Amino acid sequence: MLNFLVILLLAGIGAVVRDYITETFPKSILGTLFVNSIGGFLTGILFQSVMYGSDFFNLMMLGFLGGFTTYSTFTKDQYILLKDKKYSHLLLYTLGTFITALLFFYLGIFVTK
């Protein structure tokens, strides 16, 4: 039960931090791209430096990073780009998000080796 409450608290903190960061990029998909890239970086650090599957790892992944990163906003942004027929932006945004998050994940692993 304690882990559940800690996950809730950390997810709330992650969501507030995400909102604060994305508000610095008003009406722009760059905030979501930035947050998801930083989330990838922090995931890489956790993956490399904390025992995978440990309580701390799970609390941070499910809690803070679960609230911080935002797949739902990413998907909403994709839908809007598709609806507005901005196909090249959609492609760049989608590939850019996946590629930068993965590169930042590896960067997180690299800096903690």
Binding residues for Na(+): 66, 69
- Residue partners of 108: CB distance under 8 A and separation at least 6: 40, 41, 42, 43, 44, 45, 46, 47, 48
CA proximity to 110, closest of 34, 43, 48, 40: 48
Q: Any idea how long the chain is?
A: 113
Q: Which amino acid is at 51?
A: M
Q: Which residues fall in the annotated binding site?
A: 66, 69
